[in-house]
A and B are shown apart, each in its own frame.
Chain A
């Protein structure tokens, strides 16, 4: 585990704030794992609840920095903004799906589609923002992310001009707003 240089070093070498953050992320992981256990098992015997609690404790203890690696102060804000981002994304997916459905049933489809690869560069820094943008692009039909590297360079395969033209605009702005980064 990487210990940040600033902050007052305790006896075991970990600053208090880092320790608190890692405990918080441990707690969130534990609650998430336990909820998943309850939904998957569906029974409320004391024995099964104990088994679930113990196993989610071990999973959360060893892998807490896998799911929520950085617990910055504004993490809850990002989460709620992400929830607000979801309905727009789902509406966009449905809208673009009907476009793709129209393409698939069109009798002269090969004249309508025009597959090509476009490249554009963004200024997104954090990995999770880049991953979210890449997955959003892939989920929106008509465009598939081919490569997305950590510098923010995206290569996207688009199926026709219309879905290619709409690309780096609104979605990038929304994702950048969710994760609090400038474009």
Chain B
């Protein structure tokens, strides 16, 4: 059981690492949104799954309720993350920010 928890946590940490590196390396802010919005969401999903499994070690009704509450966080993040991403993209669009393309780099 502990191995499963460790596996989930390391997977989540790896996703977070990918998100952080992507945020640093991407050329413009539209493409920075891709790792920021999505890899973090999946990282939260993996890590909360691992923690919820660890929480169910000493099985009781309270522990079950607590794990349900943790998955409420995941549900909320899955619902709110596209909305937040969309609102940032919309703000950039209305400000007239152009996106990075390959041709621009050559010229």
Contact B25 A109 (CB under 8 A): yes
Of all chain A residues, the one with the shortest Cβ separation from B99 is: A115
Contact B102 A104 (CB under 8 A): no
In angstroms, how far is the closest chain A Cβ from the Cβ of B41?
Answer: 7
How many chain B residues have a CB neighbour from A under 8 Å? Answer: 40
Of all chain B residues, the one with the shortest Cβ separation from A116 is: B101
The answer to whether A146 and B69 touch (CB under 8 A), given A100-B35, A110-B27, A139-B41, is no
Tell me the interface secondary structure of chain B in the complex.
Answer: helix
Contact with B along A17-61 (1 / 0, CB 8 A): 000000000000000000010011010000000000000000000
For chain A, the bracket of interface size reads 20 to 34
- Other-chain residue from B42, B66, B89 in contact with A157 (beta carbon distance below 8 A): B89
Contact A101 B39 (CB under 8 A): yes
In angstroms, how far is the closest chain B Cβ from the Cβ of A175?
Answer: 14
Chain A residues near B82: list those with CB within 8 A: 134-135, 138-139, 145
In angstroms, how far is the closest chain B Cβ from the Cβ of A138?
Answer: 4
Chain B residues near A135: list those with CB within 8 A: 82-83
Q: Tell me which residues from 128 to 179 in chain A have a Cβ below 8 Å from any Cβ of chain B.
A: 134-135, 138-142, 144-147, 157, 159
